[in-house]
Amino acid sequence: MALLEVNNLHLSFGGLQVLHDVSFSVEKGEIYAIIGPNGAGKTSILNCLGGFYHQQKGEIAFAGDDISHISPDRRAASGLARTFQNIALFRGMTVLDNIKLGSHVHLKTGLLGAAFYWGGAHREEMKLRDEIEDEIIDFLEIEHIRKQPVSTLPYGLQKRVELARALAMRPQILLMDEPVAGMNAEETEDMVRFILDIQEERDLTIIIIEHDMRMIMDISDRIMVLNFGRKIAEGSPLEVQRHPEVIRAYLGTKK
Amino acid sequence: MEFFLLLLTSGIAVGGVYALIALGFVLIYKATSIINFATGEFMMIGAYIFYTCSVLVGMPAIPSFIVVMAGAGLLGLLVERTILRHMLGQPTISIVMVTIGLSSILTGVAEMIWTSDFKSFPPLFPRAPIIVGDLIIRSNLFWGFVVAMTTVAIFALIFKYAKVGVAMRATAGDQMASFSMGINVRSMFTLAWIFGAIAASIGGLIIGNIGGVQPNLGGIGLKIFPVVILGGLDSIGGAVLGGFIVGIVENLAGGYLDPLVGGGAKNVAPFVVLVLILMVRPYGLFGRKEIERL
C-alpha cells in the first residue's frame, strides 16, 4: 500500500478550475517531484494535502486513512510536515525557538502543567531540546546561528531553518515547496545534499515542488508533470524528459 | 519635591493597573489582530461579579477572586465562540464594530442585572497605608499595583515559556505556518479571548476596589487606549511601559497643571503625549512596523 494516495482530486475556486482529476500515489521512502509551468496547480496540491484548500471531489489517503476532512493542524500532527515557497518562519523568534515549535506537537504535558512550567513540563522540554540540538541542528549545520533571530539571517539559511523546523516535527512525509528557489549555486548544492541525506538517513518520504530542473532530475525517484491543473505525465526523470506532452507544455508547439 | 514624589508614586501605582488592562487589549490583539473595544466592559463585568460574590453572596475575597477569573474566562469564551468565530475573514472594521456593539450590550445587561446605582465593595486589602520613607501610599493603590503586576508577570511568563504561550505567539506570527506545526489556531483564538477577558476583569476588580463600580466603569477602557497604542498593540512590555507613562503623566498633569487651568488637564495630558509620541513613532514604542492603524 502506498503511503500517500490521492484519487481524482478536483479543486476549483468559483469558475476557475485549478486541479482537474489529479491522481497519484507516493511510496514510502520515495522522493516524489511535482513539476509544471507556473499556475499549473502545484502549490494547490500541497495546500490540499495540508488541509488549507478543500477539494470539491476526490480523496486523500495517508497511511491508509482518509484525511480529506481533517483540520490542517491535525494533519500536521499526524505526520505531514511542510516547508513553504515564501519562507514562513516566525520572524520575531530565534532559530532555536522556531525549531522547537516544530516539536510542539510532541510535547505531551497538559495545558495546566505547561502553563505554569512545572517539573514535568520542564524536564520534557529539556530532553526535547537536547534531542533537537543533537540531531537536527548538527545535521543541518546551523549550530552557529542557533541563538540568532531568524529575520537577520540570509535567505539560504532561513530556508535551512525552515527545513530544520519541519524535521523537528519528526514527520512521515515532508512536503517541500520550492526549497531552492532564489538560491545561488552553492546554497542549492547544500540544500540538495541535505535533502538526499534526510531521505537516506531518516527514511523520510519527500514530496517536492521545484522549478530547478537540473536539481529535480538529479534527486527525484519519480516525477509528476502538471499543466493547467491536469496531470500530463508521470514516471522516472528519464521518462518524463522524453515525454512528448511534457516537451510541448514547456517548449510550446510549432504552429 | 515631596509633592512630586507623591504624584510619581501614585502615577506608577495607577500605571501598573493600566498596564494590566492594556494587557487585556494586547493578549487578544496579539493572537487575533482584533482590537477589542469591549475590554472596558469586560473590566466592569469582572468588578460586578466580585461585587455579587462578596457583597450579595457573602463569599470571602479569595474565592470571589477565583469566581471573577472563571466568570471572565467564560465570558471571553462565549464571545469568541458565539460571535467572533462567525466573523472570521470579515474586514477588520466590521469586527471592530461588533466589539463596540458588544460593549453597549454588556453595559445594558449590567444595568439590567445590577441597576445603574453606584456599588462599592468591602475593602479587599489591609487598610493601613504603606509608608516608604516620607511617602505615604494609599493601601488600595499599593495592593492594586501588586496584584496587577503579579498578573502581568504571570501572563508574560506564560507567553514566553509555556507551550500554550509559545503556540499563541506562533499564531500571532503566522497562522498558516502555525497550522503546519500542528497548532490548533482556532483554539488559540479562543484562549486569547479567555486570557484577555481575565486580564481585563482583574483590572476591573482593582479599579472597582479603589472607586466602586457602576455600569459605565467600562469608560476607563477608552482611557487605556492611549496606553495600548503607546506601547504598540502587540507588545506586553510595551503595554507595561505605556501603562506607567500614562499613569505618571496623568498624575503629574493633575497635580501641577489642574490648579493652573482649573481642572481637566489630568484627562487630556495622556492624549497629548500619545499624539506627540505617535508623531515620532507611528507604530508605538514597541509595536511591529507593519501594524495596522485604525
Taking every pair of Cα atoms in chain A, the longest distance, rounded to a whole number of angstroms, is: 73
Q: How far apart are the first and last CA of chain B?
A: 41
Q: Does B96 touch chain A (CB under 8 A)?
A: no
Measure the CA–CA gap between A237 and A40, rounded to whole angstroms: 19
pLDDT at A119: 58
Measure the CA–CA gap between A193 and B200, rounded to whole angstroms: 52
Name which of B180, B190, B291 to mutate to probe chain A: the one with the most chain A Cβ atoms within 10 A of its Cβ: B180
Cβ within 8 Å of B, A 93-122: 93, 97, 100-102, 104-105, 107, 109, 111, 114-117, 121
Amino acid identity of residue A60, one-letter, is I
Distance (Å) of CA B26 to CA A73, A116, B152, B172, B272: 25, 20, 11, 11, 22
Say which DSSP state A14 is in: T
Among B161, B183, B156, which Cα is nearest to B172's? B183
Say which DSSP state A134 is in: I
> Which candidate from A74, A105, A117 shows the least CB-CB separation from B162?
A117
For A217, the grid coordinates are: 532530475
For A80, the grid coordinates are: 505531514
The percent of chain A in helix, strand and coil, each rounded to the nearest 5, is: 45, 25, 30
Q: How far apart are the first and last CA of chain A?
A: 44
CB of A76 closer than 8 Å to CB of B182 = yes
Q: Does B162 touch chain A (CB under 8 A)?
A: yes
Give me the tens of pLDDT residue by residue for chain B, a chain 294 residues long.
Answer: 788 888 899 899 999 999 999 999 999 988 888 889 999 999 999 999 999 999 899 899 899 999 999 999 999 999 999 998 888 778 888 988 999 999 999 999 999 999 988 988 887 788 888 887 778 888 888 999 999 999 999 999 888 877 788 888 888 888 888 998 888 888 899 999 999 999 999 999 999 988 889 998 888 887 888 788 877 777 888 888 889 998 999 999 999 988 888 878 888 888 888 888 888 877 776 666 554 433
Q: Does B108 touch chain A (CB under 8 A)?
A: no
Nearest CA to CA, how far is B287 from chain A (Å)? 12
Amino acid identity of residue B183, one-letter, is I
Between strands A173-177 and A205-209, the pairing is parallel
Nearest CA to CA, how far is B164 from chain A (Å)? 7
Distance (Å) of CA B101 to CA A117, B37, B73, B96, B106: 38, 9, 20, 9, 9
CA A71-A73-A78 angle, 5° bins: 95
Concatenating the DSSP letter of every residue in chain B gives: -HHHHHHHHHHHHHHHHHHHHHHHHHHHHHHH----TTHHHHHHHHHHHHHIIIIII---HHHHHHHHHHHHHHHHHHIIIIIGGGGTTS-HHHHHHHHHHHHHHHHHHHHHHH-SS-B-PPP-S--SPEEETTEEE-HHHHHHHHHHHHHHHHHHHHHHHSHHHHHHHHHHH-HHHHHHTT--HHHHHHHHHHHHHHHHHHHHHHHHHHH-B-GGGGGHHHHHHHHHHHH-TT-HHHHHHHHHHHHHHHHHIIIIIHHHHTS-HHHHHHHHHHHHHHHH-TT-SS--TTPPP-
* A52·B176 Cβ contact <8 A: yes
Which residues on chain A are in Cβ contact (under 8 Å) with B182?
73-74, 76-77, 104-105, 169
pTM score: 0.82
Q: Does A13 touch chain B (CB under 8 A)?
A: no
Distance (Å) of CA A72 to CA A52, A59, A188, B111, B175: 6, 15, 29, 43, 11
CB of B8 closer than 8 Å to CB of B251 = yes
Give me the tens of pLDDT residue by residue for chain A, a chain 255 residues long.
Answer: 789 999 999 999 988 899 999 999 999 999 999 999 888 899 999 999 999 999 999 999 999 899 999 999 999 988 999 999 888 888 878 898 888 888 877 765 544 444 555 556 667 767 776 777 778 888 888 889 988 999 889 888 999 999 999 998 889 999 999 999 888 889 899 999 999 998 888 889 999 999 888 899 999 999 999 999 999 999 999 999 889 888 888 877 665
> Which candidate from A76, A100, A121 shows the least CB-CB separation from B182?
A76
Which residues on chain B are in Cβ contact (under 8 Å) with A169?
181-182
User: How many residues make up chain A in this entry?
Assistant: 255
Which residues on chain A are in Cβ contact (under 8 Å) with B185?
73
Concatenating the DSSP letter of every residue in B94-144 gives: HHHHHHHHHHHHHHHHHHHHH-SS-B-PPP-S--SPEEETTEEE-HHHHHH
Q: Does B164 touch chain A (CB under 8 A)?
A: yes
CB of B213 closer than 8 Å to CB of B11 = no
CB of B241 closer than 8 Å to CB of B285 = yes
Nearest CA to CA, how far is A201 from chain B (Å)? 22
- Residue B114 burial (CB count, 10 A): 19
Q: Tens digits of per-residue pLDDT, A58-68?
A: 999 999 899 99
* B163·A50 Cβ contact <8 A: no
Domain boundaries, chain B: 11-220
> Which candidate from A111, A117, A165 shows the least CB-CB separation from B161?
A117
pLDDT at B138: 85
Measure the CA–CA gap between B272 and A35, rounded to whole angstroms: 58
Q: Under CATH, to which class is A1-79+172-255 assigned?
A: alpha beta
Nearest CA in chain B to A166: B181
CB of B23 closer than 8 Å to CB of B152 = yes
Measure the CA–CA gap between A168 and A138, rounded to whole angstroms: 12
Measure the CA–CA gap between A120 and B61, rounded to whole angstroms: 32
pLDDT at B193: 95
For B278, the grid coordinates are: 505617535
Domain boundaries, chain A: 1-79+172-255, 90-170
Among A84, A101, A102, which Cα is nearest to A170's? A102
* A76·B180 Cβ contact <8 A: yes
* B180·A72 Cβ contact <8 A: yes
* B162·A92 Cβ contact <8 A: no
- In angstroms and rounded to an integer, the radius of gyration of the C-alpha atoms of chain A is 19
For residue A116, give the 3-state DSSP assignment.
helix
Nearest CA in chain A to B158: A115
Q: Does B183 touch chain A (CB under 8 A)?
A: yes
> Which candidate from A88, A97, A104 shows the least CB-CB separation from B163?
A104
- Residue A30 burial (CB count, 10 A): 20
Half-sphere exposure of B105 (CA within 13 A, CB side): 11
* B166·A71 Cβ contact <8 A: no
Q: Count A/B contacts: CB-CB distance under 8 Å.
A: 84
